[in-house]
Amino acid sequence: MNRGRRVIALLRAPGGALLCALGVLGAARSIAAQAPSGAQVEARAEYTGARTSSLQVGAGLTLPAGRYIRLGTVVTGGVATHGGDARGAARADLLARFLLDPFRESPVGVYGIGGVSALYDGFEETRPRILLGVGVETRPRGRRVLAAEVALGGGVRIAIVLRRARRSGR
């Protein structure tokens, strides 16, 4: 069995998505330890509204890939509900943020989000999704920045994000 098929089989196995999400989180932590000073670690809480709705919390790591682009990964876990039944849920995202104001010239920064997700909700098989959205980031308060995001990817996602502020720019 080739490597791609083994990964898909792992993701389809019960708890496979959660195991994958934990692996991504471990990798993100390792990257954070070696990352340049521009790395941003974040915590998030999200609601996803779809046929199967979910409420999840998670963590992410974003690295600069130029003045206007930030590349990152996000891993979340929580509870999904469908027809009155509740089950565990997990998600892993690989994403890019395109900043419209990377130099923090205005108090509020708007950015676009694009990427891919692997979703597991306990009701259906693990499935990939395209992620597209927008976010708004406030000015830093101490060493933290608060952001709100709305995205499409496995349903409508609404997230509140608390990330580490960069020393210069967004």
pLDDT digits (tens, 9 = 90+) for 143-159: 999 999 999 998 999 99
CATH classification of the domain holding 129: 2.40.160.20
Residue 97 lies in a domain: yes
Per residue in 46-103, pLDDT tens?
999 988 899 999 999 999 999 999 999 999 999 999 988 999 999 999 999 999 999 9
Assign 3-class secondary structure to the chain.
Answer: CCHHHHHHHHHHCCCHHHHHHHHHHHHHHHHHHHCCCCCEEEEEEEEEECCCEEEEEEEEEEEECCCCEEEEEEEEEEEEEECCEEEEEEEEEEEEEEECCCCCCCCCEEEEEEEEEEEECCCCCCEEEEEEEEEEECCCECCEEEEEEEEECCCEEEEEEEEECCCCCC
User: Looking at residue 154, what is its pLDDT?
Assistant: 87
Percent of the chain with pLDDT over 90: 63
Residue 170 lies in a domain: no
Give the pLDDT confidence score for residue 24 in this predicted structure.
52
Domain with 87, as residue range(s), is 3-164
What is the pLDDT, as a whole number, of residue 166? 86
Structural domain count, the chain: 1
**Is 108 contained in some domain?**
yes
Q: What is the pLDDT of residue 63?
A: 95
Flag whether 25 is in a domain.
Answer: yes
Give the pLDDT confidence score for residue 56 in this predicted structure. 97
In this predicted structure, what is the pLDDT of residue 26?
58
169, part of any domain = no
Per-residue confidence at 167, pLDDT binned at 50, 70, 90?
Answer: confident
